[in-house]
Amino acid sequence: MTRPTIIVAGAAGRTGGALVAQLLEKGWPVRAIVRSRDLRSARLERLGAETLAADLFDPDQLLQAMQGAQRAYYCPPFHPHMVQSAAAFAVAAREAKLESLVGLSQWLASPSHPALSTRQHWLVDHLFSMIPGMAHTIINPGFFADYPYLSVIKYAALLGIYPMPVDGKSRNAPPSTEDIARVAAAVLINPAKHDGRVYRPTGPKLISVEEIVQILGRVLNRTVRHIELPMWMFLKAARMEGVSALELANLPYYFQDLSSGAFEYGAPTDHVLETTGQHPEDFETIARRHASLPEARQTRMNSLRLLAEFLTVPLRPGLDQSRFEPERSIPAPSMPQLAMNSQRWRLEHGSREGELA
């Protein structure tokens, strides 16, 4: 029997790329939608994927990309008008008569959250659930192990510091990108079984920032200490690394959520084991993978270069978070609420966890 083609939108990203690789390894035909052809799309082609450059905001291009496919994974673009992309995808999915759709969402998703992307995720989740005749599953992880926790591993490896704008007691059970992709693959392979479900992949246990620092010390075989970096300095460093303005505007809220216990709430889950039959990767396993990357290679030249960059961070341009949304005429909630302050968020992410709210 011919297996149905699976669309992976956002295939050049973290979860999208991992999902493409896993589906191909299991023998499923994949059509990878990318923004443009580059080294990342070339890698997907080498793995065996059919790649197609398409605009995620154009319903006609998306419909053309969906021809002959039956199932899809949608990783939303990090963009101020992401809802428009999701609406275009929904229109195309309905016209193409897709049988199932898996959407990557966000653990904090709420209509009243102060972060634009988080409000958008909530809207997109409900938009996709209203497409008639199509199975729909939501995957809503919190902070990944890969980002932001291990995005600063080079500082730990080369300078012996772990710069994070939170106190050491903040806890989470961060999942790996690979485990998130494994859950998505399991759902796409058997969509009817998972229709209407909400899955929150997590790591196997809650760990604090202090414990992360201890793990990194073992992995890197050196002393590492946590520096509670001021938020303004963290944002400047992130901007220096190429993080988008939208992400910079959202990050302060997400770290406030982390400090208030929103990522600890309801964690860990057994959703990785339940859907894939495999236990989730622990943080040390993920960290060892990142420690082998070239940027974390412990050489004198790398250390001196990174130290020079770090010392120039205060001189770099930042972002005025309070002006980001007003300058773009973005609608704001009448009563913005972080996750743990929202009764609606607690209801949708507590008693109804595992079901589409």
**How far, CA to CA in Å, does 165 sit from each of 228, 237, 254, 311?**
5, 11, 11, 17
Three-state secondary structure call for residue 218: helix
**Type and span of the H or E element at 252:** helix 245-260
Question: To which H or E segment does residue 172 belong?
Answer: strand 171-172
Look at the block and give the residue holding tokens 């669309």.
7
Closest C-alpha among 113, 105, 102 to residue 135:
102
Tell me how long the chain is. 357
Q: How many other β-carbons are positioned within 10 Å of the β-carbon of residue 295? A: 11
The pLDDT value given to residue 2: 83
Where do the structural domains in the chain lie, given as residue ranges? 5-144+176-199, 153-173+203-329
What one-letter code names the amino acid at 167?
D
Confidence at residue 351, expressed as pLDDT on a 0 to 100 scale: 47
**Six token digits for residue 352:** 């109804």
**CA atoms of 108 and 253, how far apart (whole Å):** 10
Burial zone of 162 (CB within 10 Å; 0-12 exposed, 13-18 middle, 19+ buried): buried
Residue 135 is given by DSSP the state: E
Question: What is the C-alpha separation between 176 and 46, in angstroms, rounded?
Answer: 24
How far apart are alpha carbons 81 and 57 in whole angstroms? 9
Per-residue tokens: 56: 């995620």
Contacts of 129 (CB under 8 A, 6+ apart): 136, 196, 356
CATH placement of domain 5-144+176-199:
3.40.50.720
The pLDDT of residue 322 is: 84
Q: What is the third-level CATH fold of 153-173+203-329?
A: UDP-galactose 4-epimerase; domain 1 (3.90.25)
Per-residue pLDDT of the chain (357 residues; tens, 9 = 90+): 689 999 999 999 999 999 999 999 999 999 999 998 888 889 999 999 999 999 999 999 999 999 999 999 999 999 999 999 999 999 999 999 999 999 999 999 999 999 999 999 999 999 999 999 999 999 999 999 999 999 999 999 999 999 999 999 999 999 999 999 999 999 999 999 999 999 999 999 999 999 999 999 999 999 999 999 999 999 999 999 999 999 999 999 999 999 999 999 999 999 999 999 999 999 999 999 999 999 899 999 999 999 999 999 999 988 888 888 888 888 889 999 999 999 999 999 874 444 444
Give the pLDDT score at 165: 96
Q: Report DSSP letters for 34-96, one per residue.
A: ESS-SHHHHHHHHHT-EEEE--TT-HHHHHHHHTTEEEEEE---SSTTHHHHHHHHHHHHHHH
- To the question of pTM greater than 0.85 for the whole model, the response is yes
